[in-house]
Amino acid sequence: MSTSTTPASTEKITHRMILSTSGRIHVAEQGSGPLVLLVHGFPESWYSWRHQLPALAAAGYRAAAIDVRGYGRSSKPAEVAAYRMLELVEDNVAVVRALGERTAAIVGHDWGSPIAANSALVRPDVFRAVGLLSVPYAPRGGPRPSEIFARMGGEEEFYISYFQEYGRAEAEIEPDVRGWLAGLYAALSADTMPPAGAPDPHFVSRGGRLRDRFPTGRLPAWLSEDDLDVYAGEFERTGMTGALNRYRNMDRDWEDLARFDGAPITQPSLFIGGSLDASTTWMADALKAYPTTLPGLASSHVLEGCGHWVQQERREEVNELLTGWLASQS
C-alpha cells in the first residue's frame, strides 16, 4: 500500500492493487468503518470520487473507489467479452473480499450506476445497499439494447451505436485525448453545455464525429486544468478501448441477465440525478417506476440546474445526501 498526492487535496488517500478474475483492480481508499464501494462511469476513473472519499471518511466510513476493469491501473483484458456485466460484478465482489469485508454499500455514477445496480441484484449477499447517480435503475427486459439504440436519432446516430464498432471511436479520441475529454465534460455540464436548440452532442451526423458538437473555449466550473490532466493522463497511457468495450457488451448483458428479467432491487437504495442530465431525463419513466423496481428506495433527488457529472458538479449536496442515506442504514 502507498500514499499518493494528487490534485484536490487527496493526500490521505491510499492505493492498492487487488487480484480479480481480470488480473488486478486498482482501489483508492480512505477512512475506516463500514465499507462503501464507489464505481465510476465513462470516461473517468477513481478520481471522479475525489470529493466523496474524504467526506465519507469524515462521516465514519471506509470509502473505496475503484478503477473499473479497462480503466486506469486496473487490468485491461484483450477480449471484448471480458467486459460483460457479470465479470464486473465479480470484480466488485473480489474487492470487498480482498478488503476483508463480507458486505458493502455500493454507489455508482454513469456506467457505474448499472454496474452497482446489477451488483446488488446478482449478489444481494454482498451488497447491502445501492446508490445510483445519473442513470436510473431499469430492470432487464424488452428488445435487445442494440435494436433500441439503432432506432434512436432518425438520420443521426446515437453515441452508443457509434461506439459499437471496434476502433471507430478510438480513432476519433486517441489523437487528442485531452481535447476530446475536455469537450465531452463541457458538453454534459450545466454551465457549459450547448444551449437549447443546438445540435445534441449525444448524436453523430452521418459521417461525422461526436466531437463536432462539443463546446470549446472553457472548462466547466467543477473541472480544473489539473483535474483534466489527471483524466487525460490515464487515457493517454491506456488508450480508450478498455473503457469503450463496456458499451460493446450490452447485448451479452441482456442475454446473461435473462433470469433477472423485470427483477426489482430490494435493498435500501438512493437515486441522485441532474435536471439537465439527459441520462436522467430520458429515463423519466424509470424514475416513475421506482415504487415497483426499487421497493427499498429511501429517497430520489433530481438536482435542479445540475448536469451529468453530479458528484463533481454538486459535490457538497451529493456528499450530504450520501452520508445521510448511509447513516439511515445503521
Which residues are marked as active site?
110, 308
Show the cell assigned to 144. 435487445
166 three-state secondary structure: coil
Cα 40 from Cα 230, distance rounded (Å): 15
Contact present, 243 and 70 (Cβ < 8 Å): yes
- Beta strands 35-39 and 104-109: pairing type? parallel
Count of CA atoms in the C-beta half-sphere (13 A) of 130: 32
Show the cell assigned to 231. 483524466
Closest CA to 302 of 278, 268, 329, 267: 278
Contact present, 30 and 49 (Cβ < 8 Å): no
User: Phi/psi of residue 139, each to 5°?
Assistant: -60, 155
DSSP annotation of 15? E
